Structure 1
Amino acid sequence: MPEFPALAHVAVTVSDLEASRRWYAALFGTDPVLDELEQQGTFHHAVFALASGQLFGLHAHVDAAPGERFDERRTGLDHVAFGCRDRAELESWAERLDGLGVAHGGVVDAPYGSGLSFRDPDGIALELFAPPA
């Protein structure tokens, strides 16, 4: 059996593509490498290439469910976590989030590692995570 492959990309559905595109561009420090209506015309997507080699996509669907916000208690996505080297890098990210005006829960330590949780404009739960020291 082949080894299970690395995660190639994550795509999240957003309610306002333009607002989310600006928010994620500021967070990632880069513009999307792809920004287009997909071939069948059912959704518009913007895709960011992260320094780690993965892609992070934003989708806005033509037939989007109106008025719904993200809730990790529903079946489906709970959160997306991005890996950091150590707790010091998490502290740097907390400062960057402060500079961007992004509310967060501060660096929280646990036996399995440390995390820094925050949310995007649609309330999608995001985390920066570092392994234990």
Structure 2
Amino acid sequence: MEVREAVEADAGRLATLADAPADTMRNLVHDRTVRVAEDAGEIVGFVSFDAKRDAVHVTQFDGTSETAARLLDEPARFARSEGMAAEVLVEESRSELQRAATAAGFERAGPGPRFEGAPTIKYRLEPPVER
């Protein structure tokens, strides 16, 4: 599996993975940091994130548990290098993405907000402790 930066041409495949309009995913590629995972030349997962003042926020991600965990390493690595926390919300119904968050080092931090009526769980990766 290879992880690379997303480009505009990836929007159609990202839309299929995220069950979202292609225009929405095209905007995501332009407005956020987006990484895609490819296996045999096909996109099999993605993660989008951005840094706010207090933390790196994962805005969307999808893929198998293994693929999603590998992709979550991208915002986690950025957060660690900047001395920031990282956060991700996962729908309660998406157990494979919950496993991915845990595998990537995120810890369950309680309930998150509802997203389009679906309950979410908040996961957080604390910043490195300075010595």
**Fold match (TM-score > 0.5):** no
Instruction: Give me the TM-score of the superposition, normalised by structure 1.
Output: 0.30
